[in-house]
Amino acid sequence: MNAETNNSRRQFLKAGALVGGGLVIGFVIPGARRLSAQPAAAAAVASFAPNAFLRIGNDDSVTVLLSHSEMGQGVWTALPMLIAEELDADWSKIKVEHAPAAPAYFSPVFGMQGTGGSTSTWSEFDRYRQAGAAARAMLLQAAAAHFKVPVAEVRTENGEAIAGKQRVRYGALADAAGKLNAPDAATITLKDPKDWKIIGKATKRLDSPEKITGRAQFGMDVQFEGLLTAVVARSPVFGGKVKSFDATAAKAVAGVRNVVRIPTGVAVIADHYWAAKQGRDALKVEWDLGPNAALDSTTLRAQFTELAGTPGLPASQAGDVAAALAKAAKTVEAEYALPYLAHAPMEPLNCTVKISPDKCELWIGTQFQTLEQKTAAEITGLKPEQVFVHTAFLGGGFGRRANPSPDVVFEAVHIAKAANAPVKTVWSREDDVRGGFYRPAFVHKAKVGLDADGKPIAWQHVIAGQSIIAGTFFEPMMVKNGIDATSTEGVADSPYLKDVPDHRVGLHSPRPGIPVLWWRSVGHSHTAFAMESLVDELAHAAGKDPVEYRRGLLADHTRHLGVLNLVAEKAGWGGPLEKGRARGVAVHESFGSFIAQVAEVSVENGTIRVHRVVCAVDCGVAINPAGIAAQIESGIAFGLGAALHSRITFKDGRVQESNYHDYQVLRMSEMPAVEVHIVPSTEKSGGVGEPGTPPIAPAVANALFALNGQRLRELPFQLAAQAATPAKA
Q: What's the 3-state SS for 643-674?
A: HHCCCECEECCEECCCCCCCCCCCCHHHCCEE
pLDDT for 720: 58
Please write down the HEC assignment for all residues of 469-511: CCCCCCHHHHEECCEEHHHHCCCCCCHHHHCCCEEEEEEECCC
Looking only at the bridges linking them, the beta strands covering 387-391 and 359-364 are parallel
pLDDT for 4: 40
Q: Do 537 and 530 form a contact (C-beta atoms < 8 A)?
A: no
Residue 447 pairs in a beta bridge with 333, 460
Distances (CA, A) of 204 to 116, 137, 689: 22, 27, 17
Q: What is d(CA 72, CA 319) in angstroms, rounded to the nearest whole number?
A: 45
**Sites in the chain below the pLDDT cut of 70:** 1-21, 26-52, 720-729
Sequence length of the chain is 729
Q: Do 713 and 337 form a contact (C-beta atoms < 8 A)?
A: yes
Give alpha helix (H) positions in 283-368: 297-308, 321-327
Give alpha helix (H) positions in 148-247: 170-178, 208-213
- Which amino acid, 182? A
DSSP assignment letter at 577? -
296: phi then psi, degrees, rounded to nearest 5: -145, 130
pLDDT for 101: 87
pLDDT for 173: 96
- What count of other Cβ atoms lies within 10 Å of the Cβ of residue 271? 14
Per-residue burial over 95-118, b = 16 or more CB atoms within 10 Å of its CB, e = otherwise: ebebbbbbbbbbbeebebbbbbbb
3-state secondary structure of 373: helix
Helix, strand, coil % (nearest 5) of the chain? Answer: 35, 25, 40
3-state secondary structure of 23: strand
Q: Do 50 and 67 form a contact (C-beta atoms < 8 A)?
A: no
Cα Rg, the chain, nearest whole Å: 28
Looking only at the bridges linking them, the beta strands covering 479-480 and 456-465 are unpaired
Q: What is d(CA 409, CA 437) in angstroms, rounded to the nearest whole number?
A: 14
